[in-house]
Amino acid sequence: MSKIGLFIPCYINAIYPEVGVASYKLLKSFGLEVDYPLDQTCCGQPMANGGFEDEAFNLAKRFDALFEQYDYIVGPSASCVVFVKDNHPQILEKQHHKCTSSGKIYDICEFIHDVVKPTQLKAKFPHKVSIHNSCHGVRELHLSSSSELNVPYYSKLRDLLSMVEGIEIFEPKHVDECCGFGGMFSIEEPEVSVSMGQDKVKDHLSTGAEYITGADSSCLMHMDGVIKREKLPIKTIHVVEILASQL
C-alpha cells in the first residue's frame, strides 16, 4: 500500500487546525495509509515570495528530508503545494541538492480526484455553496479550467462536491477572478487587495449561497475578513471540511 505524508501548512496549523484534522480523516476514510510528520516547518514560500529565496533553502531541504520516505505528499493548500512542486527544485539545485518532493506532492482535492478516484462519499452538507477557484489551484495545479483559455469547462472541486448529499453548488459570474489575497500582495498593496476581496465576496453573494468554499484557506481567510468587517450574510468553509462532514 502506498504511504502518504500529510503536509499541513503553517497558517492552517496555527489558524485553521480543523482543516488539517478533516484532511486526515478524509484520507483515512478511503483506507489509505496516512502519516503526519509532527516536526513539520514552513515550506519557505513567504521568504521566497518576499525576495529572499536563498533563505528558503534550509526549509526546502528539511522538507525534502522529512517527506522522503513517502510515496505521496498531500496537503490542503494549493499555493503551498505549488511552491514545493515548482520552486523547491530550483532552490535546492542552487546548492546541488536534488529535490525528491516535487514529483509526488498533490493538493488534497487533486489527489482524491485524480489518484483515489472515488465514486461516492459519505459526506452530507445540506447547504448552498459557491466554489472559489484560487489562482494557484486554477493556473498551476489545473483544479479547474481557466476562463481565459478556449478549453472545455471542468472543475475537480465541483466533481467532488457533487458526491455530497444535500448540497447545492453554485459558481460566481467571474468564476476564477482573484480574491486579492496573493500572499505578500495583500501586505504591500492592502487597499487594492481589500477592494478585490470586496468585489469577489459580492460576486459569491450574488449566487445566493450560504457558504464560499475552496481549496485554499488563505483565500478564504482573506474573504472572511471582508465578510466579518462588513457583516455580510455568508460564511467560508474549506472544501475538505465539507467532504469530511460525516466522518
Kindly state whether residues 15 and 88 are assigned to the same domain.
yes
Kindly state whether residues 188 and 133 are assigned to the same domain.
yes
Kindly state whether residues 14 and 78 are assigned to the same domain.
yes
Of 108, 61, 100, 58, give the one whose Cα is nearest residue 80. Answer: 108
Kindly state whether residues 110 and 166 are assigned to the same domain.
no
Inside any domain, residue 81:
yes
Kindly state whether residues 221 and 132 are assigned to the same domain.
yes
Task: Kindly give the interhelix angle for 190-205 and 217-230, rounded to the nearest 10 degrees.
Answer: 80
Kindly state whether residues 53 and 87 are assigned to the same domain.
yes
CATH number of the domain enclosing 32: 3.40.50
Kindly state whether residues 107 and 12 are assigned to the same domain.
yes
Inside any domain, residue 123:
no
Kindly state whether residues 136 and 107 are assigned to the same domain.
no
Inside any domain, residue 122:
no
Q: DSSP state, 144?
A: B
Kindly state whether residues 158 and 101 are assigned to the same domain.
no
Kindly state whether residues 67 and 109 are assigned to the same domain.
yes
Residue 16's SS3 state is coil
Residue 221 sits at φ, ψ, to 5 deg, of -65, -45
For the chain, how many structural domains are there in total? 2
Model confidence, pTM: 0.94
The residues pairing with 3 across neighbouring beta strands, listed in sequence order, are 33
Per-residue pLDDT of the chain (247 residues; tens, 9 = 90+): 799 999 999 989 999 999 999 999 999 999 999 999 998 989 989 888 888 888 899 999 999 999 999 999 999 999 999 999 999 999 999 989 999 999 999 999 999 999 999 999 999 999 999 999 999 999 999 999 999 999 999 999 999 999 999 999 999 999 999 998 887 777 788 899 899 999 999 999 999 999 999 999 999 999 999 999 999 999 999 999 999 999 9
* Whole-Å CA distances, 195 to 189, 209, 225, 236: 10, 21, 12, 18
Write the secondary structure of 187-238 as one string of H (helix), E (strand) and C (coil).
HHCHHHHHHHHHHHHHHHHCCCCCEEEECCHHHHHHHHHHHHHHCCCCEEEE
pLDDT in tens, 8-65: 999 899 999 999 999 999 999 999 999 999 989 899 898 888 888 888 999 999 999 9
Domain boundary among 56, 82, 116: 116
Range of the domain at 93: 3-116
Give me the amino acid identity at 156: K
Task: Give dist(CA 244, CA 163) in Å, integer.
Answer: 12
Count of C-beta atoms within a 10 Å radius of residue 162: 11
Domain boundary among 116, 149, 164: 116
